[in-house]
A = this chain, B = another copy of it.
Amino acid sequence: MATSPAANIRPRVVVIGAGFGGIYAAKRLGKLPVDVTVVDRKNHHTFQPLLYQVALAVLSPGEIAQPIRSILRDNANTEVVMDEVIGIDAHARRVHLKSGAELLYDYLILGTGSTHSYFGKDEWCKLAPGLKSIEDATEIRRRVLLAFELAERQTLETGTHPPLNFVVIGGGPTGVELAGAISDIARVYMTRDFRHIDPSMAKVLILEGAPSILTAYPKDLQQKAVEQLAKLGVRVRTGARVTDVQPGYVMVGDERIESVCTLWAAGVQASPLGRMLAESLGMPSCLDRRGCVQVDEHLNPPNHPEIFVIGDLAHVEENRHQIPGTAQPAIQMGRYAADRVGLLAKDPAAAARQKPFHYFDKGDMATIGRKAAVARIAWPFHANWSGFVAWFIWLTVHIFFLIGLRSRLAVFRQWAYTYIRKQDGVRLIVGSQSLPGWDALATPPASSEDEATMAARS
């Protein structure tokens, strides 16, 4: 190591990415005799498990996002830099930032997560936004709400009720949560608000390429999920590979499926920082198919005990199963990496005795609308639950894990209003007032040229 424990210089730790992994690593590093720099492109940490609730106008962005500076304010040894990493020099132990600054490190913790993958069809991005950031969530909110407004306007003008088909591509947890929530707001909250259209006529369709949805869940929960979705009026089509996304419709093979609003929840790929690291290490082979970095039992890439890759940028296997890319593994990896940095810096002998990383699996959950969910519980006992009980567990767990008391109270209050009293959420349409493909949908069979409507991402 460049910095020996005996030397009186505090080791410098650079944490890249302030998702769950990075934040929990930084929090623990705050108690250690090291100097920490946290780098993120955004000024805020996003509580991703609730992002779909911002997209569907239940919560405000400010309720699930918090400035990184304020989360880490009490760490006297930590500084936060809002910047983009454009290069890693693993040999010189240096990180290059877009602004031109360089950061030297003794230990590097890399947790920049993943981004949408359109399987090479990046042009679909404008037509079917995915859900990874606050910007994505408000853009989805804009599109979903605008679809109802445009339908109302159209019916006022022409007297005919245009179809309101929402298509969600991908049947993982995000796709299921988005689809359930769209159906919910259409059927529960919006019916009172329109005079000409009937929002409950909205149809929501999940298109999943695999033979089942929620592939990470046990078979019985997959089945329960389909049943609960059906109760909300959400149709599920499995084995349906989307071959094209166009303004106003999607293609599954030769079949054209009309869509007033298409959302993408199908594929993710690793953040480009994974490739950047692999190239710097001279080991492109350490990436898996999605670009995640394959790390050893201490979360290090080969031969670099000073570099940790955590969260869903890391490919970690236990019992030949890859650890899922959700919040819990990221948190546990972040804490493990921080602890290990502390041991390596203070007492390498103790570090040599440290147990390998082990994912303590508490389970997985996905909500289905306003009062159902599926929950695979692995701790404190094993159980598969679905329906209202699972939903209630989901609610409790997510309130508990929100960072900061203020957010917890605010989200609890908002949920109480929205779920119990059926009051309004945050149904603001901010930004552009057009939808790609709307004109074509509203007046078939004219062709649409309405693609340039994404300019004002709100």
Contact = CB atoms under 8 A, between A and B. Distances in A.
Contacts of A430: 61, 134-135, 138
Interface in A413-440: 413, 417, 423-431, 433
Contacts of A61: 60, 426, 428, 430
Interface residues of A, number: 57
A73 B135 contact: no
Interface in A107-162: 134-135, 138, 145, 149, 152-154, 156-157
A428 B42 CA distance: 9
Interface in A364-416: 406, 409-410, 413
Taking each of A70, A145, A194, A455, which has the highest tally of chain B beta carbons within 10 Å of its own beta carbon? A70
Interface string A61-91: 1110111011001000001111100000000
A272 to B, nearest CB: 17
A409 B427 CA distance: 18
A154 to B, nearest CB: 7
B67 A424 contact: yes
A378 B120 CA distance: 66
Contacts of A73: 192-193
Interface string A1-44: 00000000000000000000000000000000000000001111
Contacts of A423: 406
A92 interface: no
Contact of A149 (B82, B100, B433, B457): B82
Nearest to A423: B406
A101 interface: yes
A458 B65 CA distance: 15
Contacts of A349: none
A41 B146 CA distance: 12
A431 B196 CA distance: 35
A42 B73 CA distance: 38
A188 to B, nearest CB: 13
A353 interface: no
A99 interface: yes
A152 to B, nearest CB: 7
Given A43-B428, A61-B428, A67-B193, 8 more contacts: A42-B429, A43-B427, A44-B427, A69-B194, A70-B424, A73-B192, A83-B153, A97-B157
Contacts of A63: 60
Contact of A426 (B62, B192, B431): B62
A446 interface: no
Given A43-B428, A60-B60, A193-B69, A82 B152 contact: yes
28 contacts: A42-B429, A43-B428, A44-B428, A61-B428, A62-B425, A62-B428, A67-B193, A67-B428, A69-B193, A70-B427, A73-B193, A81-B152, A81-B153, A82-B152, A82-B429, A99-B153, A99-B157, A101-B156, A101-B157, A135-B431, A138-B430, A406-B424, A409-B413, A410-B410, A410-B413, A413-B413, A431-B457, A457-B458
A339 B67 CA distance: 48
A320 interface: no
A195 interface: yes
A456 interface: yes
Contacts of A66: 424
A156 B67 contact: no
A73 B422 CA distance: 13
Taking each of A97, A145, A426, A455, which has the highest tally of chain B beta carbons within 10 Å of its own beta carbon? A426
B67 A195 contact: no
Nearest to A67: B427
Nearest to A157: B101
A43 B429 contact: yes
A456 B430 CA distance: 12
A443 to B, nearest CB: 10
